[in-house]
Copies of this chain bind each other. A is one copy, B any other.
Amino acid sequence: MPPPLPESIPATLQELPPKWAHFCLGVESFLVNELGVDMEGKAFLTAFSGGIDSTALLLVLKYISRRNHGHVFALHLDHGLRAESPDEAAAAVALCKAADIPCTAIRRDVQAEALSMGMGIEEAGRHVRYALLEREREKLGAQHIALGHHLDDLCEDVLMRMLRGAGWPGISGMPGIDPDRNLVRPFLLTPKSTLRDFLHDLRVPWSQDASNADQRWKRNRVRHSILPLFVEENQSFTSSVARMWRMGRLDDDFWFRRCQMLQPGPLLAQHALEGAHQAERMRFYKHKLDAMGPGQALADSLFRLDAAWREQRIGAVIQFPGDKTAKIVSEGVVFRVKH
């Protein structure tokens, strides 16, 4: 059973200890200045598990939204995977009540859905969660879905991307804002320990997520085996990751803008390729492929495509995941997807 709720949760930023009011303003600044979020009058739907991250997120958003004439909502999903999950759902609803935040609680049998969708439980959980969040966001007319990912999650994500052999800027980690999916991650550069201290000082309880200790999941192996070794070797590893993330965001925007200058449509024109450095051509190819829908193009295939283009092997076709193809023609490279 989670510990009891405090007698009262501060209602406004002004009621917080100065240290934590300052912390909330820092999160606001990250949202507004680094992620470019316009907060004025906007509503956030928070994915609220009742764990440390999302409990802290819910409260911080409550405080900073109020300053900006906005609103905060919570959605709790009981995945039906653990015996204690109904108690956790009840605790989540109670916390929202105490904090005066509208909350929707939904129970879904994720194990059964994973079976019927032919997915792993982790993937199915994510799938169900995001679908419900998006449906609820639309229903509420909220602008953003706020996720509790913090700096420790970002470090894990960077290591996972490194493991998978991601390119740059992909390897610098998940974005802080994803306009296509209406997602924001206000805590992405905040260490988890800060969130724990925040809740502790406010005497707000949280639930433990038992699945975090489960070493079957690769993310948890990264969390419990690999990340601690990095931190042991470099005490400021997490700050290094934050720095790398900021550089990655810059380069992501730089390449995005260069790709925006291309003509839309299936043809990547010869004159655009001829004036470009190979580093640019690789991004141009990826941009065209990504625009055609799901399926990640690997660097190896992009290198093969570029070699075919450089040698002007007219008629050569390179295959990409997601039934996509690129064909060398005299006008440039034509991208297609099979439907």
Contacts and interface: CB of A to CB of B under 8 A. Distances in A.
A299 to B, nearest CB: 5
A323 to B, nearest CB: 23
A156 to B, nearest CB: 12
Contacts of A248: 168
Given A254-B279, A280-B254, A162 B162 contact: yes
B279 A163 contact: no
Contacts of A166: 244
Interface string A144-170: 000000000000001000111111110
A258 to B, nearest CB: 9
A243 to B, nearest CB: 5
A14 interface: no
Interface stretch (A84-92, A225-233, A326-334): A225-233
Interface stretch (A3-11, A66-74, A174-182, A234-242): A234-242
Nearest to A281: B250
A165 B240 contact: yes
Contacts of A298: 243
Contact of A168 (B230, B236, B251, B257): B251
A184 interface: no
Pairs A-B, 3 closest by C-beta atoms:
A165-B240, A254-B279, A250-B279
Interface string A121-162: 000000000000000000000000000000000000010001
A239 B168 contact: no
Number of copies: 2
Interface residues of A, number: 44
Given A167-B244, A168-B247, 12 more contacts: A163-B230, A163-B237, A164-B234, A165-B237, A165-B240, A168-B244, A221-B233, A226-B226, A243-B298, A244-B299, A253-B279, A254-B278
Nearest to A237: B163
A92 B298 CA distance: 43
Contact of A236 (B165, B230, B244, B247): B165
Given A163-B230, A168-B169, A243-B300, A251 B237 contact: no
A277 interface: yes
A306 to B, nearest CB: 10
A248 B230 CA distance: 22
